[in-house]
């Protein structure tokens, strides 16, 4: 065990990694606390005060949307939902992908062949096909739908983990565990997966921005989260109609969305550079 855990790489929180984690943390905190500090509710409509520009006087820091709802509170709510949704989707894809890949890789032979054939088939299905049909079916529950999205997004993870597992299972400590009679499932989940942690962490950081983009794409198609709830993607997509009359309705949520995406991408890249880069791509 200790042998296996020692393989987990240590990453110092400096440079790119430090800055991007700090930014993400700050956004998360503001998104949670911000709405509490505002006198406005996120679903309170005010038809006489639609599309107000940002102003500190009436505490509409980000202005109002077409229905007179406070954009600041909505943007913060949107950020919360966007982050939650993306992280959940990534975790789901992580769990399925790691389990699938590790089992296929460790079992090998026919089990491996069948499992990877299924991955191939799912790969060959257009992604938006799944997404649209899942949205249509699960429209009423956005958590469920992102679990579903995560359930599709695991294919890359499965392939990478399988490849790594194939390499790892020839290593001495796995041999040793096998010789002393440790059961297969225990070897897979106690000895092999911890060694994949570096790869997995990097991969998840790169999956989160993908999930965020998928969410915003769905919002563009009108298949996103249910009103009056909102997400950054929904706000940005709704804001494009006002890019001339009320640019702040588009600009502020898009900026936040871009910052979150940038931070996750930089974090992912930073982690990849910090950890063994070869391990990821082979």
Residues that bind other proteins (CB under 8 A): 43, 45, 47-48, 66-67, 117-118, 120-130, 132-133, 135-137, 139-140, 209, 213, 216-217, 220-223, 226-228, 233, 236-238, 240-245, 250, 254, 257-259, 261-262, 265-266, 269, 272, 277-278, 281
d(CA 262, CA 148): 25
- Both tokens of residue 145? 């739908």
**Whether 244 contacts 93, CB under 8 Å:** no
Query: HSE (CB half, 13 Å, CA atoms) of 98?
Result: 21
Q: Of 157, 158, 161, 173, nearest to 5 (Cα)?
A: 173
Q: How far is Cα of residue 118 from the mean position of the Cα atoms in its chain?
A: 23
190: left (phi over 0), alpha (psi -120 to 50) or beta: alpha
Cβ neighbours, 10 Å, residue 38: 16
d(CA 245, CA 230): 22
**Whether 211 contacts 232, CB under 8 Å:** no
- Both tokens of residue 201? 């962490």
d(CA 31, CA 74): 10
- Both tokens of residue 241? 């109609």
**Whether 64 contacts 84, CB under 8 Å:** no
CA distances from 205 to 48, 74, 174 (A): 43, 25, 28
């Amino acid at each position: 065990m200790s042998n296996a855990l020692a393989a987990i790489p240590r990453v110092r929180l400096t440079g790119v990694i430090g800055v991007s984690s700090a930014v993400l943390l700050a956004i998360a905190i503001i998104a949670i606390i911000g709405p509490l500090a505002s006198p406005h509710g996120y679903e309170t409509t005010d038809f006489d005060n639609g599309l107000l520009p940002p102003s500190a006087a009436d505490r509409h820091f980000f202005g109002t949307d077409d229905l007179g709802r406070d954009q600041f509170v909505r943007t913060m709510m949107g950020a919360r939902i966007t982050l939650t949704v993306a992280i959940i989707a990534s975790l789901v894809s992580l769990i399925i992908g790691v389990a699938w890949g590790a089992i296929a890789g460790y079992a090998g032979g026919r089990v491996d062949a069948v499992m990877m054939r299924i991955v191939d088939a799912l790969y060959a299905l257009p992604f938006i096909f799944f997404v649209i049909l899942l949205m249509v079916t699960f429209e009423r529950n956005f958590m469920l739908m992102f679990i579903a999205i995560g359930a599709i997004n695991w294919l890359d993870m499965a392939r990478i983990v399988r490849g790594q597992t194939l390499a790892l299972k020839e290593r001495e400590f796995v041999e040793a565990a096998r010789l002393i009679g440790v059961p297969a499932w225990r070897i897979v989940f106690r000895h092999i997966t911890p060694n994949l942690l570096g790869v997995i962490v990097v991969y998840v950081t790169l999956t989160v921005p993908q999930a965020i983009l998928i969410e915003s794409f769905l919002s563009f198609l009108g298949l996103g989260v249910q009103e009056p709830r909102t997400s950054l993607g929904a706000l940005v997509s709704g804001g494009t109609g006002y890019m001339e009359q009320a640019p702040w309705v588009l600009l502020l949520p898009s900026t936040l969305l871009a910052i979150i995406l940038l931070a996750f991408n930089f974090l992912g890249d930073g982690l990849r550079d910090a950890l063994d880069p070869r391990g990821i791509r082979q």
